[in-house]
A and B are shown apart, each in its own frame.
Chain A
């Protein structure tokens, strides 16, 4: 194909868009809405994933001690904990302190504890693990090791519930793929029909072009450009609206869902680029499908 035809094709594509501007406005709007739905989902997923992984990076462990553990055994346990790479004793809680903490947590309902014959709560040691040298400790191994120690009643660690979150994230990821796939099909359907309408509006022109010796590609190229242009505009608008929405929401985050407690960030550049590329690709693919069905001259 001759390069000097490029201005002609671009001119034709712009003329097509101008002639059928309403169809294109509807098409672009629908595409933007679809990508916004997907983009919002991506934004939530990315942030949830970041939070969960952020929490998971700092493993915390509660070591509950048996009642009546002697000072010597307790000292040996503390030494054992300190030998573990990255382990740091955050807090040592006595039985009495644990009871006070519980009472404080129960507030007005604290009276239920008054009838107890003795303090049922165990003393405990809270340990945090900061990964040393990039290595993350194996919490299950540590739990077994510590539980085997005389005087230790039970060990619980934060990743137990984080693992449950991981399961939820897998479901979330699958739902994202399904939603994304369905939205993608919807977008493809919209672009195909938009281009089909513009082809129908230029049917006579196409026929005459073929009669004077235009090749199929000569006729098809402006329509392919038209679909790509729809994809480019939709992709840019989607990212722009998504970012604007993010900026507005992040300013007011203190009032919304308590997000201020968490670091709510925008999706990375690679994700925005993906939205843009997928939008252009769907625009182009939609045009291909519309043209493939139409060309029977």
Chain B
């Protein structure tokens, strides 16, 4: 599903990633781990097409991100959900509108948007908070809204960058349970985290980064 070949990424003189080779199979659940500054966020942003590699290739579902234009990248993003550490919710829109946005940009019919957004919010346990605004919710609830938005399009891949970074251990467990549920339905999930507690509790594949290099796997 995801293939990285000899991937390098520099920001000016700073080397963020060096010669990364990685393959994530369809339906796999992978943790990308390592200390802060290891290059986890950069790696996920490259997979999402938010950054271009300095050299190397990224294939998502067989599509080489180096060889597609802006419009095709926009369309590809509809098949890849992304969950951010800081949620990236629109505070001026309701929970429902935030989730519906991912469907509206696809030009879906209003009736379909209503149905799908409601289902996505129900799957993350927020059906009763559809008309609330993000700032009226707790951190865990906001992250669940972000997850609902990421999965509402039934993505092939779900990328999550430190999704529990701002949450306490109970909420962290709750969010991880949600990711496992999504994975069980067949979605390929890649989660970047530096939380050792989180990794100790899991038996999933772990890819370890340090100073921009892939130094091992568990």
* Residues in chain A within 8 A of chain B (CB atoms): 2, 4-5, 8, 204-205, 207-216, 218
B105→A216 contact, CB < 8 A:
no
Question: Contact mask B81-116 → A, CB, 8 Å, 1/0?
Answer: 010000011101000000001101111010000000
- Closest CB in chain B relative to A200 CB, distance in Å: 15
Asked if B70 lies at the interface with its beta carbon under 8 angstroms from chain A, I say: yes
**CA of A213 to CA of B157 in the docked complex: distance in angstroms?**
14
Q: Cβ of B74: which chain A residues have Cβ within 8 Å of it?
A: 210, 213-216
Among the listed A4, A8, A212, A216, which residue makes an inter-chain contact with B149, where contact means beta carbons less than 8 Å apart?
A212
Among the listed B71, B77, B82, which residue makes an inter-chain contact with A216, where contact means beta carbons less than 8 Å apart?
B71
B104→A213 contact, CB < 8 A:
no
Among the listed A2, A207, A208, which residue makes an inter-chain contact with B101, where contact means beta carbons less than 8 Å apart?
A208
Enumerate 12 A-B pairs (CB-CB under 8 Å) in ascending A order. A211-B48, A211-B77, A212-B77, A212-B101, A212-B102, A213-B75, A213-B77, A215-B74, A215-B105, A216-B70, A216-B74, A218-B105
Q: Which of B74, B88, B92, B149 has the largest count of A CB atoms less than 10 A from its CB?
A: B74
**CA of A114 to CA of B106 in the docked complex: distance in angstroms?**
97
Q: Which residue of A lies closest to B70 (CB)?
A: A216
**CA of A2 to CA of B108 in the docked complex: distance in angstroms?**
9
- Closest CB in chain B relative to A82 CB, distance in Å: 80
* Residues in chain B within 8 A of chain A (CB atoms): 48, 50, 70-71, 74-78, 82, 88-90, 92, 101-102, 104-107, 109, 149, 153
Main secondary structure of the interface of A (DSSP, over half): helix
Q: Which residue of A lies closest to B84 (CB)?
A: A211
Q: Cβ of B76: which chain A residues have Cβ within 8 Å of it?
A: 213
**CA of A247 to CA of B25 in the docked complex: distance in angstroms?**
77
**CA of A215 to CA of B106 in the docked complex: distance in angstroms?**
9
B88→A208 contact, CB < 8 A:
yes
**CA of A182 to CA of B67 in the docked complex: distance in angstroms?**
45
Question: Given A216-B70, A216-B71: A211 and B88 within 8 A (CB)?
Answer: yes
Q: Which of A8, A205, A208 has the largest count of B CB atoms less than 10 A from its CB?
A: A208
A213→B107 contact, CB < 8 A:
no
**CA of A2 to CA of B113 in the docked complex: distance in angstroms?**
15
Q: Cβ of B48: which chain A residues have Cβ within 8 Å of it?
A: 211
**CA of A177 to CA of B48 in the docked complex: distance in angstroms?**
52
Q: Cβ of A214: which chain B residues have Cβ within 8 Å of it?
A: 74, 105
B90→A205 contact, CB < 8 A:
yes
- Closest CB in chain B relative to A194 CB, distance in Å: 20
Q: Cβ of B71: which chain A residues have Cβ within 8 Å of it?
A: 215-216
A209→B107 contact, CB < 8 A:
no
**CA of A211 to CA of B159 in the docked complex: distance in angstroms?**
12
**CA of A286 to CA of B104 in the docked complex: distance in angstroms?**
26
Q: Cβ of A204: which chain B residues have Cβ within 8 Å of it?
A: 90
Among the listed B50, B89, B105, B109, which residue makes an inter-chain contact with A209, where contact means beta carbons less than 8 Å apart?
B105
* 8 nearest CB pairs, A to B: A213-B78, A214-B105, A213-B77, A212-B102, A2-B107, A215-B74, A5-B107, A208-B88
A211→B70 contact, CB < 8 A:
no
Q: Cβ of B153: which chain A residues have Cβ within 8 Å of it?
A: 213
- Closest CB in chain A relative to B193 CB, distance in Å: 20
**CA of A208 to CA of B90 in the docked complex: distance in angstroms?**
8
Q: Which residue of B lies closest to A211 (CB)?
A: B82
- Closest CB in chain B relative to A285 CB, distance in Å: 23
Q: Cβ of A207: which chain B residues have Cβ within 8 Å of it?
A: 88
Q: Cβ of A2: which chain B residues have Cβ within 8 Å of it?
A: 107
